[in-house]
Amino acid sequence: MARMLNGECGTISAERRAMCSSPVEPPSTMTLPAHRLAFILLLPLALLGCEEKKEAAIAPADIAAGKAVVEAQCIGCHGSDGSGAAPGIPDLAAQDADYLVASLAAYKAGTRTHAALQDLTGDLKDADMRNVAGFFASLPPLKAAAEPGIPPVLSPYEKGEAAAQACVRCHGEAGNSTIVGIPGLAGQQPRYFVSAVRAYLDGRRSIEGKEMLREMSHVDLESVALYYASQTPARREAPAFGDPAAGEPLSARCGGCHGAHGVSHDTSTPSLASQEPNYLVKAIKAYRDQTRQHNVMLDDNTDAEIENLVAFYTVQESAAAEGAATTVMDLADKCDRCHGAGVEQPTLTVPKIAGQDRAYLIKALRAYRDGKRGSSMMHSMSLPYSEAIIESVASYYASQPAR
């Protein structure tokens, strides 16, 4: 037994090292606008019946027997008080017993993957699982991970606003550029924003002074993108060139991707409405002349057609690409519908996440987002979530008192 536990703990510390040292992975997705997220959340829970509680006609947990199993096999990592021994190991004290049984069964079945847990659960019978779950559920909640007086957790929008101060002198207040040839960033779609900055950094697009862009971490970049996405672009006057009325029919070929009036609804496709006109002309010509590469952009317009198209897009009213979920509490409101204190979900088995280990929360959310951990509900929740949002929300819940 001792030998096995050592072996297992070796696995864990390697994992922990990886978790502490690895930089944040690139996201597979960026965010959906808040209204679409809200729509997903409002889907009738009945449609998502997969995690419905089964009426259990089974023997109640034997807590003393559960404690014996835990002391023999689990306390090296989960502590006798149910507290995770290292970052990345979840706290189990006071966790929902049905949820614990379900998660142990998922490791055993291999629908949740973790080498150590799969080995350990392989030997556990159903009754053992109920007993250990009953034991951990019976423990008192751990005290809050965070000390009182720590600064409040910032949302990506708030972090992004601070980091965007470096961009104001060119891109204007709140991303409303007033300088000829410099694009506005207000209301821009966040995935497009991130990919545009990447294109400058790796040389696919050219820009002067890209050092300042290089200084941003990936999470900072996503935060800045989310901040700008949530700003409302100011309206613009028609440019001195081109004819908006002549541009409108030409824009029919663009609307399928860029939105009817240049207000994009796709996080990877830029909005064109209210954009700075000289910049737009330059950008469209850059695709045509192949100094900017892209396989989907149309590149057969004449100079005069481009000017008319740009005149049309410049005078269109634009909109913010992201809703107003500005603080981390706004973000957590969506989660608290299921995970909040005192929320009863009679048809759902919902784990407690307040006070949980931060590294574990991040790992769990990435696993749902990337489809590596089965839960139709959490997958649709976390799919739109960028690394920046996952980190903020995880920090927030980790800092809350456990219940």
Q: Site residues for ligand HEC, window 26-65 (CB under 6 A)?
A: 41, 51
Stretch that binds ligand HEC, among 21-29, 52-60, 154-162, 334-342 (CB under 6 A): 334-342
**Closest to ligand HEC by CB, 240 or 389:** 389
Q: Measured from the CB atom, is 59 or 291 closer to ligand HEC?
A: 291
Residues 228-267 that bind ligand HEC (CB under 6 A): 253-254, 256-258
* Distance between CA atoms of residues 85 and 208, nearest Å: 49
Binding to ligand HEC (CB under 6 A) within 277-306 occurs at 280, 282-284, 292, 294, 296-298, 301
68 lines the binding site for ligand HEC (CB under 6 A): no
User: Which is closer to ligand HEC, CB of 154 or CB of 297?
Assistant: 297
For ligand HEC, which is the closer residue by CB, 30 or 89?
89
273 lies in the binding site for ligand HEC (CB under 6 A): no
Q: Are 133 and 104 in contact (CB under 8 A)?
A: yes
Question: Hunting for tokens 């991040």 — which residue is that?
Answer: 362
Is 398 within 8 Å of 358 (Cβ atoms)?
yes
Using the minimum distance from each CB to ligand HEC, give the nearer residue, 153 or 381: 381
Q: Of 25, 391, 18, 368, which Cα lies nearest the Cα of 218? A: 25
- Interacting stretch for ligand HEC, rule CB under 6 A, among 26-34, 232-240, 314-322, 371-379? 371-379
Number of other CB atoms surrounding residue 156 within 10 Å: 31
Q: Rule CB under 6 A: is residue 403 a binding residue for ligand HEC?
A: no
| End-to-end alpha carbon distance in the chain | 33
Residues 11/203, Cβ–Cβ less than 8 Å: no
**Residue number with CB closer to ligand HEC (127 or 348):** 348
Dihedral angle of Cα 294, 295, 297, 300, to the nearest 10 degrees = 110
Measured between alpha carbons, how far is 185 from 190 in angstroms, rounded to an integer? 10
Which amino acid makes up residue 364? A
Between 2-21 and 358-369, two packed helices, what is the crossing angle to 10 degrees?
Answer: 80
- The number of residues that bind ligand HEC (CB under 6 A) is 82
* Residue 320 touching ligand HEC (CB under 6 A): no
Cα distance between residue 177 and residue 269, in whole Å: 20
Comparison of 44 and 149: residue with beta carbon closer to ligand HEC: 44
Q: Of 216-235, which residues contact ligand HEC (CB under 6 A)?
A: 224
Contact with ligand HEC (CB under 6 A) among 378, 388, 398, 402: 378
CB of 263 to ligand HEC, least distance (A): 13
Phi-psi region of 154 (alpha: psi -120 to 50; beta: other; left: phi over 0): beta
Does the footprint of ligand HEC cover residue 210 (CB under 6 A)?
A: no
